[in-house]
């Protein structure tokens, strides 16, 4: 049976970089965010229920989802956030399970879910939780360099995510990603050896 490692961390903690390091070692990788985006891309299964719930106002004139309008709606109204999650969550979970079945011959795989701690339904699809952790100053600096977002906006996103302490409490394994990229690669290779033996 394949062991599934749930990979999570706050914005800018280095989740994507960590996932890329595991991918270099040919470890199967399921990206819940990418699945979510493809479900809401053109022709995606999430579009009809999103239109039914939020109306034409969150679609552009070509019939494509207007992600900025939807994000705005969800930020402004907690009930809209819940409504969108109720649409997306079962679809993403089903897509994750399908991919997990496709990798059933692997020893272990990485399930990359930014909101793993917030959404226990994802945690239920994993056997261990790996948290990528950095101090907040590093998190803000790396996110700003990568995305160009301002400090205020980044802090708002951080505040909407699980607190660092809560994530660490849920972790079975932690990568402290305060060092160099080479050090991150080394930590991933060490964990790779550990996970292969579990």
Taking alpha carbons only, the member of 2, 16, 4, 47 closest to residue 181 is 16
As a whole number of angstroms, the distance between CA 166 and CA 155 comes to: 17
| Residue 23 binds ligand ADP (CB under 6 A) | no
Taking alpha carbons only, the member of 81, 67, 60, 61 closest to residue 37 is 67
Which one, 20 or 91, has the nearer CB to ligand ADP?
Answer: 20
Region of 66-74, 118-126, 154-162, 177-185 interacting with ligand ADP (CB under 6 A): 177-185
* 12 among annotated binding-site residues: yes
As a whole number of angstroms, the distance between CA 81 and CA 135 comes to: 28
Contact code string over 102-141 relative to ligand ADP, x by CB under 6 A: ----------------------------------------
Rounded alpha-carbon distances, angstroms, from residue 123 to 13, 87, 95, 127, 187: 19, 18, 15, 8, 23
In 132-180, which residue ranges form alpha helices assigned H by DSSP? 136-147, 151-160, 164-170
Which one, 17 or 38, has the nearer CB to ligand ADP?
Answer: 17
Helices 67-76 & 47-54 angle (0-180, nearest 10): 50
| Residue 161 binds ligand ADP (CB under 6 A) | no
Binding residue for ligand ADP, selected from 12, 92, 140, 167, defined by CB under 6 A = 12
Binding residue for ligand ADP, selected from 45, 53, 168, 181, defined by CB under 6 A = 181
Which one, 81 or 141, has the nearer CB to ligand ADP?
Answer: 141
* 26 among annotated binding-site residues: no
- The binding site for ligand ADP (CB under 6 A) comprises 9, 11-17, 142, 146, 177, 179-181, 184
């Amino acid at each position: 049976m394949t062991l599934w490692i749930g990979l999570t961390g706050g914005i800018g903690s280095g989740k994507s970089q960590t996932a890329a390091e595991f991918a270099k070692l040919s470890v199967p990788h399921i990206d819940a965010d990418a699945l979510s985006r493809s479900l809401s891309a053109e022709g995606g299964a999430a579009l009809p229920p999103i239109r039914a719930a939020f109306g034409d106002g969150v679609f552009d004139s070509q019939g494509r989802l207007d992600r900025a309008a939807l994000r705005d709606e969800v930020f402004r109204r907690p009930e809209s956030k819940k409504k969108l999650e109720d649409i997306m969550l079962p679809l993403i979970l089903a897509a994750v399970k399908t991919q997990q079945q496709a990798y059933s011959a692997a020893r272990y795989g990485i399930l990359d879910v930014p909101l793993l701690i917030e959404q226990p339904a994802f945690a239920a699809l994993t056997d261990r939780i790996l948290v990528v952790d950095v101090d907040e100053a590093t998190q803000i600096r790396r996110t700003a360099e990568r995305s160009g977002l301002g400090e205020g906006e980044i802090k708002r996103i951080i505040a909407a995510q699980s607190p660092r302490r809560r994530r660490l409490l849920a972790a079975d394994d932690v990568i402290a990603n305060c060092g160099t990229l080479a050090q991150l690669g080394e930590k991933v290779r060490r964990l790779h050896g550990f996970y292969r033996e579990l």
